[in-house]
Structure 1
């Protein structure tokens, strides 16, 4: 089983420090946090440097996540805004290609992909499907997959369950558009996360692991044993990535590098044992 760690776990620590520590802990890859560590305006020189760190560490870039910077809105009825959003996604896809990563996680709920009260949900959903399809066409030429993430109702009002994410990707109908699950969100939205994985796991391009308290797997009450069995059942072979946060009101990451590091060390041991 391939395991990755999201760079956001370590907050705004130096990215090279995060990458090399991930390798030392036995992770197979790092999932780069776009808005924090490698935004779309990152220079070509910086991109080359980051890619060099990843290669030197002997790991991969499994995906880009937290890609939105607040400059565009995907849930829109405005054609010009749709074009801006598509163009932005294409820049993220370029970044993914430059990092030699094959996955862009389209998550990060909030207002970027949430319906406004006065919007026609059917019309806006079709518009979002068009945006994703067009970005998927661009991604195809780059060898990149767009993974539509199911996110809980407290962060967005669009695609809360894995079933909804699957239905949306069917609407998009593009081979480079798949789904993405996150155990933290599943713990809130799904009656039985393991059952949903057995039903829809074949559509997953990636999965985030975080416990019920959004800390490392094994630190809360989420049933990872059943979920691991379900992933084995569907022959899941993509990356499991740890998107683990401190969940403070004023910030997402932990107080210190050492606190995050301790979480990541315990988490990888727990998950490696799950899949033995």
Structure 2
């Protein structure tokens, strides 16, 4: 059964204890099944506090991140592994069992050349080790495919699927994002269907990162692809109402969207549910 989530960036750009609790409450009030919490600074994240708030409002959580530049995985595999294992401790404290996002690389860490077999092999080997540790904790991981301007390592669903399968880890899945697909793929339908065996998490994000349905993403093709892929994972509204200081440069987010958070959230959730219902997802 499909679950509907929202990224915290729909409401806030910088996660603090107070803003985080307020966002948890807003996500629950809007009717989402879960909130995606960005662990961009996990060392300062108050997991126990936010677990209490999640339990109070009856909302689930998924965590996501991009590796810090200092532990960009192909350059610093041991550092990346230590970082990710420490993040798993935070997930345990939060009561969260899912970690998605750019878990194999740092955003903006570009070499000026295509990915080498050695770079990709390092990602596969390290994520395989982390996935094994995560599986013992009951945690699922998902590796995101991002556009060429943010990483050179995994831009398409096909390349990312290959990495996921190469680890041999049953708890490592594919994280797709329609914003990145709009840049990198030759369409939406075929990539989604061809990645069906590992596709488990999708950022539903518009071409301009604002209100879904108001840009150039081919949403009928997205929903048709998800239907024929027999998708039963998580559909996550990802709109950026505020600029996050940690990732602004890497993602080139210089200005807020044209709609307030309340509109992005309520109309966005309605859009996703209507699109899914139309294809019988």
Is 1:102 equivalent to 2:97 in the alignment? yes
In structure 2, list runs of 5 or more residues that go unmatched: none
Q: Say whether residues 1:161 and 2:156 are aligned partners.
A: yes
Residue aligning to 2:79? 84
CA deviation after TM superposition for structure 1 residue 32, in Å:
0.3
- TM-score under structure 1 length normalisation: 0.86
**1:2-151 mapped onto 2 (5 Å cutoff):** 2-9=3-10, 10-12=12-14, 14-35=19-40, 39-42=41-44, 46-61=46-61, 63-76=62-75, 81-107=76-102, 111=106, 114=109, 116-117=111-112, 121-151=116-146
Give the whole-Å Cα distance in 1 for the aligned partners of 2:67 and 2:236.
Answer: 19
Q: Provide the rounded CA distance (Å) in 1 between the counterparts of 2:113 and 2:192.
A: 34
Measured against aligned partners, the alpha-carbon deviations of 1:56-88 in whole angstroms (never above 9, x if no partner) come to 111100x21124233312022xxxx32121111
- Structure 1: runs of 5+ lacking an equivalent: none
Distance 1:123 1:97 in 2: 32
- 2:36 aligned counterpart, secondary structure: strand
Deviation of residue 42 (structure 1)?
A: 3.5
Two-structure CA RMSD over aligned residues (Å): 2.6
Q: How many residues align?
A: 265
Structure 1 ranges of 4+ moved more than 6 A: 247-251
8 Å contact from structure 2 (residues 66, 105) kept in 1: no
- TM-score, normalization by structure 2: 0.85
> For 1:84-123, what per-residue CA distance to the aligned partner results, in whole angstroms no more than 9, with x for missing partners?
2111111122222322222211417874684535898122
